[in-house]
Copies of this chain bind each other. A is one copy, B any other.
Amino acid sequence: MPDEIREIGVGMLGYAFMGKAHSNGFRKIEYMTWPPPLRPRLVAIAGRNEQAVGEAAGRYGFERWTTAWEDIVADPAIGLFDNLGPNSLHAAPTIAAAEAGKHVVCEKPLGRTAEESYEIWRRVAATGVKHLCAFNYRFVPAVRLARELIDAGELGDIRHFRGRYLQDWGDTDAQVWRFDSEEAGSGALGDLAAHVVDLARYLVGDIDEVGGFVHTFIPNREVDDAVEATVRFANGAVGTLEATRLALGRRNAFQWEINGTKGSLAFDMERLNELQVFKAGDERTRGFTTVLVSEASHPFWEHWWPPGHIVGWGDTFVHELHHVLRAIADDTDVAPHGATFEDGYRAAEVCDAIVRSSASGRRESLSYRTLES
């Protein structure tokens, strides 16, 4: 490792699915991205289960571990706090870490409600640290390419967005925190629909109005299994948002399509290396092109392989965390390509509005608070 690459101490809260994904992301950054903006040093990891967190520390290479997240917040060796805990543990540790001067990454959804999300954003923004809400799908190469094509005007004005996140593991008796309303806040809404909302905002723009409902199929389940909604965007586009944990056969099918006045895009996370692109042109060869997003000129591809040698889902975390480290190292903005806590808050406003619409039976207009409000 060259001398000139500075180190940053990382503290992590959570060691399960996301702990593995983020640890892998940090570890790969130091050699897959070259030179890395900062060298992540895995200082400490916190979790509830003493044995499990200890094993995770050994496995992923953290220097120390603790069952008290406060230890991490207080640790002077840590410059970046990465919060992967259940949703109920997003607010307090994240705010505390930021107020202790640490840059913060927090898993989505930012808070369990718009109110909680706003509070996290407000308190963290006041400290001046870098903050990223870990909507990692912004860091899929095909998604970034979609954004670049849209920014370049290749779709013209956007008229339609239809997004749905379909999984099928929900028909289970398993007791997991994701079914606990106190810990999770919501079900498919915060877990899956929030991703749809975030990419809708990232690719199309802010949402003005939603109508729809949340629905629970499984008896006695505290949280929703499915979300169905219509949507209007500030720029005039219209569409639908859906999410479910009960679409048999769909494992991780985050699918979206965007239609503009000059072209269209379509995507499915189960084939995350591909972007379907339609551009108006020669009628004889008109159709959607399956772009295998792996060219030297494609987003993030400077880190990887020759064309056609695809990346995996886990690699999106390399891109995401690299983006944070770059922002810290160079004092650049996390936005627009990274989701800030403001983005996390705005997604929460949309999710809350769907819940309100579900109860009221009415389409709900969105209004977003600013830090001054």
* Complex interface: chain B residues within 8 A of A309 (CB): 252, 312-314
Determine whether A368 belongs to the interface, using a CB cutoff of 8 Å to chain B.
Answer: no
Structural contact, B292 and A285, CB atoms closer than 8 A: no
Structural contact, B239 and A248, CB atoms closer than 8 A: no
Structural contact, A290 and B291, CB atoms closer than 8 A: no
Determine whether A315 belongs to the interface, using a CB cutoff of 8 Å to chain B.
Answer: yes
* Complex interface: chain B residues within 8 A of A242 (CB): 162, 239-240
Please give the count of copies of this chain that the complex contains.
4
* Complex interface: chain B residues within 8 A of A308 (CB): 167, 250-253, 269-270
Determine whether A260 belongs to the interface, using a CB cutoff of 8 Å to chain B.
Answer: yes
Structural contact, B238 and A228, CB atoms closer than 8 A: yes
Structural contact, B290 and A285, CB atoms closer than 8 A: no
Q: A2-B58, A230-B211 are in contact. Are A248 and B259 (CB under 8 A)?
A: yes
Determine whether A171 belongs to the interface, using a CB cutoff of 8 Å to chain B.
Answer: yes
Nearest opposing residue in chain B for A154, CB measure: B285
Determine whether A181 belongs to the interface, using a CB cutoff of 8 Å to chain B.
Answer: no
User: Which residues of chain A in 44-103 are interfacial with respect to chain B, using CB atoms and an 8 Å cutoff?
Assistant: 58-61
Fill in one digit per residue for A337-372: 1 if any B CB lies within 8 Å of its CB, else 0.
000000000000000000000000111000000000
* Complex interface: chain B residues within 8 A of A186 (CB): none
Interface residue from B148, B168, B211, B291 paired with A211 (Cβ < 8 Å): B211
Structural contact, B292 and A290, CB atoms closer than 8 A: no
Q: A228-B230, A307-B169 are in contact. Are A291 and B286 (CB under 8 A)?
A: yes
Fill in one digit per residue for A145-174: 1 if any B CB lies within 8 Å of its CB, else 0.
100110000000001101010111101000
Determine whether A23 belongs to the interface, using a CB cutoff of 8 Å to chain B.
Answer: yes
* Complex interface: chain B residues within 8 A of A334 (CB): none
The stretch of A25-33, A198-206, A325-333 in contact with B is A25-33
Interface residue from B294, B298, B312 paired with A315 (Cβ < 8 Å): B312
Q: Which of A217, A295, A312 has the most CB of B within 10 A?
A: A312
Determine whether A207 belongs to the interface, using a CB cutoff of 8 Å to chain B.
Answer: no
Determine whether A104 belongs to the interface, using a CB cutoff of 8 Å to chain B.
Answer: no
* Complex interface: chain B residues within 8 A of A58 (CB): 1-2
Q: A226-B238, A249-B278, A309-B314 are in contact. Are A297 and B272 (CB under 8 A)?
A: no
Nearest-neighbour CB distance to chain B for A33, whole angstroms, equals 10
Structural contact, A228 and B217, CB atoms closer than 8 A: no
Question: When chains A and B are docked, how far (Å) is the Cα of A250 from the Cα of B160?
Answer: 12
Determine whether A287 belongs to the interface, using a CB cutoff of 8 Å to chain B.
Answer: yes
Q: A34-B59, A59-B34 are in contact. Are A160 and B307 (CB under 8 A)?
A: no
- Residue pairs across A and B with Cβ atoms less than 8 A apart, 12 shown, are A2-B58, A17-B305, A28-B28, A162-B164, A166-B259, A211-B211, A212-B230, A240-B242, A248-B280, A270-B308, A283-B295, A283-B296
Given contacts A27-B27, A240-B240, A311-B314, 10 further A-B contacts (CB under 8 A): A23-B31, A149-B285, A160-B226, A213-B230, A244-B259, A249-B263, A251-B307, A251-B308, A277-B287, A311-B312
